[in-house]
Amino acid sequence: MKEESVDFLVIGSGVAGLRAAIELAHHGTVLIATKDVPTESSTEYAQGGIAVAMSDEDEVGIHLEDTLRAGDGLCRESAVKVLVEEGPWRISELISWGAEFDREGTKLAFTREAAHSKNRILHAHGDSTGKELERVLIAKVRTYQSVKKYPFAFTVDLMVNEGECFGASMVKDGEVIHLSAKATILATGGAGQIYERTTNPAVATGDGMAIAFRAGAVLEDMEFVQFHPTSLYMPGAPHFLLSEAMRGEGALLKNIHGEPFMKNYHPSAELAPRDVVSRAIISEMVRTKSAHVYLDLTHLDKEFVKRRFPRINLTCRMYNIDITENLIPVSPAAHYIMGGIRTDLNGATNIKGLYAAGEVACTGVHGANRLASNSLLEGLVFGARAGIAASQHGSEGRMHGTPKAQGLHHAPSTLSRFSSSYLDGMRTSLRRLMWERVGIIRCAESLSIAEDSLSQWEPEVNEISVTREEQELRNMLMVSRLITEAALERKGSVGAHFRSDFPLRGDDGNRHILWEKGRMLKE
Ligand code: SIN
């Protein structure tokens, strides 16, 4: 085992982690640890864009209202205010660092997505907005000699002693490293991989949420999972995202008989909130006994479609779909977890020295349902805030403590106790269970079945080992349990959480469900 020390540890290299590291770079040595290559994050794959009230017709107050409405009464208004007010400033800063957003003439081009009352979505290279953010932030990080990257370093647990975090234990190149830091920022992203169908990359296994929970962090709003209505449905193909911006530009949803149906479900039709569209698609699939519906862009100008969605066009072509000529088979997929590690407006958690930003965190910005394209903005705004707060925490004169690693008190082994095929089988069963029982439409019966299976599986992999496969599965099981139990507890339908046995909001609709010291609480 190796001991290393750094001033600030950032775990995760998406928009939130990189933006935090840029702030920290002025205050000491920074290590960005990632379990894969640094560009492998949800940010890299984000298509549609980044919502910001910067167009001539928009106002931050309207962005605030739209976000609160989407969050269905459970947003923390102070956090939303920070998001919409600081957003334009952070975008201007990003442009000054070289970000190239698409323009109409010299003016920034803004598009519309569901539940936005104005055109406010910036995009880059058509549908590669996240990639552009990642490019600019990585280039900026490279200008600081104080920042080092640690690729392929899997964080196993946080090192916490008496409610204070002193870094993390990780495995890199088969070696266990105790990495001590004055302050640690978790920016590990989401957990879409717990679902059989997800738009998320393979790295999104809920690691940050699980390790924070094991260390005693408070988690909140875990039952709120957003399902994106349109992912590619092709047997054998990944559930590739077909950006909401396509519907924003006029694409229609049609059932397998070629009939548009969204007007039958919501006055905003294709631009209704995501949970409404996802449930409408499921209803149409059931009604027409089909495994998918279609997204239709064939009535739009072909050159415009190719120019506006080059990445989607290229990907669909790999599956012999010409998006200007053919209907695209689509169905919903898990996309974003609104809940996560509870933080204040500066990313601070209940554990001293531990901060969280981005999808892993629950700042309260999204409430029960995230407004489309608010997440990249959240990563920028709250990543920067977490970086600033962590740098100040580091300068309070805290000593690098004698850390105690949670869960690594034994002689660690980097050999798996289980065969790869066993772990693969378990992962597949878990993902199917979550999709079928804890998916878009839930009820007490389905959730109880999931709860029973999860409680049988968990002890099997909770034994300590430090291979990435086992640790990911351990984390996925833990996050699945937190989501399932919170979903069982919320006996009402709010935002993205829909219970067929409790279709109304219910008396507890305005309360949050929290996980604290391993126990569930309501607030
Ligand atoms: C999309 O492009 O549809 C995804 C944007 C988002 O989830 O915010």
Q: Which atom of ligand 1 is nearest to the CA of 370?
A: 8
Q: Specify the DSSP class assigned to residue 362.
A: E
Instruction: Give pLDDT tens digits for 355-369.
Output: 999 999 999 999 999
Question: Residue 289 burial (CB < 10 Å; 0-12/13-18/19+)?
Answer: exposed
Q: Is 36's pLDDT higher than 90?
A: yes
Identify each DSSP E strand in 203-318 by its residue range. 219-220, 225-232, 252-254, 293-296
Phi, psi of 31 (to 5 degrees): -120, 125
Predicted confidence at residue 415, as pLDDT, reads 58
Q: What is the mean pLDDT of residues 208-223?
A: 97
Q: Residue 259 contacts by C-beta under 8 Å, 6 or more apart in sequence?
A: none
Q: Is 496's pLDDT higher than 90?
A: yes
> What is the separation, in whole angstroms, between the first and last Cα of the chain?
42
209 token code pair: 């949420």
Q: Residue 344 contacts by C-beta under 8 Å, 6 or more apart in sequence?
A: none
Predicted confidence at residue 393, as pLDDT, reads 87
Confidence at 419, pLDDT banded by 50, 70, 90: confident
DSSP string, 398-449: -------BTT--S----S-SS-HHHHHHHHHHHHHHHHHHSSSSB-HHHHHH
Considering 19, 197, 274, 474, which one is annotated as catalytic?
Answer: 274
Q: Which atom of ligand 1 is nearest to the CA of 242?
A: 3
Q: Is 399's pLDDT higher than 90?
A: no
Q: Which atom of ligand 1 is nearest to the CA of 374?
A: 8
Q: Is 484's pLDDT higher than 80?
A: yes
- What residues line ligand 1, using a CB cutoff of 6 Å? 47-48, 243-245, 335, 372-373, 375
Q: Is 410's pLDDT higher than 70?
A: no
Instruction: Give pLDDT tens digits for 386-397.
Output: 999 999 986 554
CA 36 to ligand 1 centroid distance, Å: 23
Q: What is the mean pLDDT of residues 280-302?
A: 97
The residue whose two tokens read 């929290």 is 514
Confidence at 462, pLDDT banded by 50, 70, 90: low
Predicted confidence at residue 323, as pLDDT, reads 98
CA 63 to ligand 1 centroid distance, Å: 16
CA–CA dist 292, 115 (Å, integer): 23
CA 335 to ligand 1 centroid distance, Å: 9
Q: What is the mean pLDDT of residues 409-425?
A: 69
Closest residue by Cα to atom 8, ligand 1, is 373
User: At residue 4, what is the residue type?
Assistant: E
Confidence at 406, pLDDT banded by 50, 70, 90: low
**Ligand 1 pocket check: which of 241, 242, 270 to mutate, most ligand atoms within 8 Å of Cβ?**
241
Question: Are the CB atoms for 154 and 208 separated by under 8 Å?
Answer: no
Q: Specify the DSSP class assigned to residue 5.
A: E
CA–CA dist 128, 48 (Å, integer): 8
- Candidates 210, 212, 188; CA nearest to 201 is 188
Confidence at 303, pLDDT banded by 50, 70, 90: very high
**Ligand 1 pocket check: which of 111, 132, 240, 243 to mutate, most ligand atoms within 8 Å of Cβ?**
243
Q: What is the mean pLDDT of residues 277-291?
A: 97
**Ligand 1 pocket check: which of 44, 200, 232, 244 to mutate, most ligand atoms within 8 Å of Cβ?**
244
Predicted confidence at residue 357, as pLDDT, reads 98
Closest residue by Cα to atom 4, ligand 1, is 48
CA 127 to ligand 1 centroid distance, Å: 10
- Candidates 8, 63, 45, 253; CA nearest to 130 is 45
Q: What is the mean pLDDT of residues 74-80?
A: 98
Question: Are the CB atoms for 57 and 377 separated by under 8 Å?
Answer: no
Least confident piece of the model among 86-95, 381-390, 452-461: 452-461
Predicted confidence at residue 287, as pLDDT, reads 97
Domains, the chain, with CATH or none: 231-331 (3.90.700.10), 406-510 (1.20.58.100)
Closest residue by Cα to atom 2, ligand 1, is 48
Instruction: Give pLDDT tens digits for 135-154.
Output: 999 999 999 999 999 999 99
CA 275 to ligand 1 centroid distance, Å: 13
Assess whether 519 carries a catalytic annotation.
Answer: no
User: At residue 282, what is the residue type?
Assistant: I
CA–CA dist 343, 308 (Å, integer): 37
Predicted confidence at residue 402, as pLDDT, reads 47
- Assign 186 to helix, strand or coil: strand
Which strand (E) or helix (H) includes residue 355? strand 354-356
CA–CA dist 108, 95 (Å, integer): 11
Predicted confidence at residue 464, as pLDDT, reads 55
Predicted confidence at residue 460, as pLDDT, reads 66
Q: Which atom of ligand 1 is nearest to the CA of 226?
A: 7
Predicted confidence at residue 411, as pLDDT, reads 44
The rounded mean pLDDT for the chain is 93
CA 404 distance to own-chain centroid: 29
CA 78 to ligand 1 centroid distance, Å: 24
Predicted confidence at residue 409, as pLDDT, reads 45
Q: Specify the DSSP class assigned to residue 118.
A: S
Q: Is 331's pLDDT higher than 50?
A: yes
